[in-house]
Amino acid sequence: MKYFKKHHLLFTVILIGTLALDQLTKVWVTNATNLPIQIIGNFFRIIRTENTGIAFSIPIPQIILIPLIILIIILGLNSLRKEIQFEHPIALTSIAIILAGALGNLLDRLRLGHVIDFIAVGKFPVFNVADTAITCGIALLFLKWKNLKMR
């Protein structure tokens, strides 16, 4: 039981921490008056954009997009549930940051009707902390997949 609680605490702290970081950075960018901020010349900047589409700003109406995001989260977690040892710290961390990223962007869509993106790197589409969390969580799962298999 102690093991179970310890891992639930890890999952909860990572999820809430990542979600809080995402939402706080979006509030900061929304209220910032000194944008854009040049970090490394024109290559790495902090700017503010509103993304009404999905990945890479591909346009999809919100009425379709929000249920689609929720469905993908549910199906994805259900699929992973059958394949991964969720008590493993790497699995917990991966799932927590993926879920936090998905929830962060979903909260924006429900609250604002768009996602706030602000990290601009080169010619890559502008992204945010939630996008980074999703990408890192998926990459971490793929890197450690063999070690996390149940069967």
Residue percentage of the chain with pLDDT more than 90: 50
In a domain, 24, yes or no: yes
In a domain, 91, yes or no: yes
In a domain, 67, yes or no: yes
In a domain, 82, yes or no: yes
In a domain, 78, yes or no: yes
Question: Can you read off the two tokens belonging to residue 43?
Answer: 């290559």
Query: Which residue carries 């503010």 as its tokens?
Result: 48
Residue 150 has pLDDT above 90, yes or no: no
**pLDDT per position as a tens digit, 127-146:** 999 999 999 998 988 887 76
- Count of domains for the chain: 1
Q: Are 55 and 130 in contact (CB under 8 A)?
A: no
Determine phi and psi for 144, rounding to 5 degrees.
-110, 10
In a domain, 42, yes or no: no
| Neighbour count for residue 8 (Cβ, 10 Å) | 12
What is the edge-to-edge ordering of all strands in the sheet holding 37-40?
Answer: 37-40, 44-51, 115-121
**pLDDT per position as a tens digit, 31-57:** 999 999 999 999 999 999 999 877 666
Name the catalytic one among 84, 100, 101, 131. Answer: 131
Active site residue 117: yes
Give residue 15's domain range. 2-33+50-115+125-148
Active site residue 108: no
Name the catalytic one among 91, 102, 117, 133. Answer: 117
Which pTM value belongs to this model? 0.84
In a domain, 85, yes or no: yes
In a domain, 94, yes or no: yes
Q: Are 110 and 66 in contact (CB under 8 A)?
A: yes
Q: Count of alpha carbons within 13 Å of 13, Cβ hemisphere only?
A: 7
